[in-house]
Amino acid sequence: MEIRFGFGNERGRVLVEVSPNADPVAVGKTERELGMPVCTASVEFSAQGYRSLLGWVQLVREPSATDRFGIDPFDLFADSSAPFAWYGIRPVLFDAPSRWRSDAVRWEAHSFLTIGPWDLDRRLVVPLVGFAWGYEQDPEERLRLSPVRLLGPADWDGHRRYMSERYPTWRFSNGDHLAEQH
């Protein structure tokens, strides 16, 4: 999936690929994760230098669709006071979940590419792109990858209260910028 976005005079796009994990060991997992989803989202953005610093905020929900979403930080940064799982100049989102259970599971991620406008407030998180992805596992451990779909302003806004409580030193703008992605 290709998602185009803009921020001010800058333009960019995100290329999202979700596929079954065909070689778990090659991506740092165990053979047990064969067939689990692998998500890679690469970023192209016309901004340069510090203005091209972006962050991925990812929230996940498991084991069922009735559970609440929670932040999904990269394990190395689990105790970070920042909401980002990946951060940098045009950062790549890479995730290969390994949450196997012996019963039915519906695992869903809401992944948002964000920017912190340097001219306004470095602790302000503005969403630029949002997409959902995940998988379902039945009691016999058969997997079905969920189709990637765009997320809109209401999806981001539905997470803002939780993120504000979890990261009180950060501010989370409304999701209006997500209406511009296509």
Q: What is the tens place of the pLDDT at every residue in 166-182? A: 999 999 999 999 999 99
Q: What is the tens place of the pLDDT at every residue in 120-169? A: 787 999 999 999 999 998 888 789 999 999 999 999 999 999 999 999 99
Residue 114 and residue 54 in contact, taking contact as beta carbons nearer than 8 Å: yes
Give the model's confidence band at 100: pLDDT under 50 very low, under 70 low, under 90 confident, else very high: low
134: left (phi over 0), alpha (psi -120 to 50) or beta: left
R_g of the chain computed on alpha carbons: 16
Give the model's confidence band at 73: pLDDT under 50 very low, under 70 low, under 90 confident, else very high: low
Q: What are the helix and strand counts (H, E) for the chain?
A: 1, 11
Alpha carbon distance 85, 114 (integer Å) = 11
Per-residue pLDDT, 62: 80
Alpha carbon distance 182, 166 (integer Å) = 29
Closest by Cα among 63, 67, 81, 96 to 163: 81
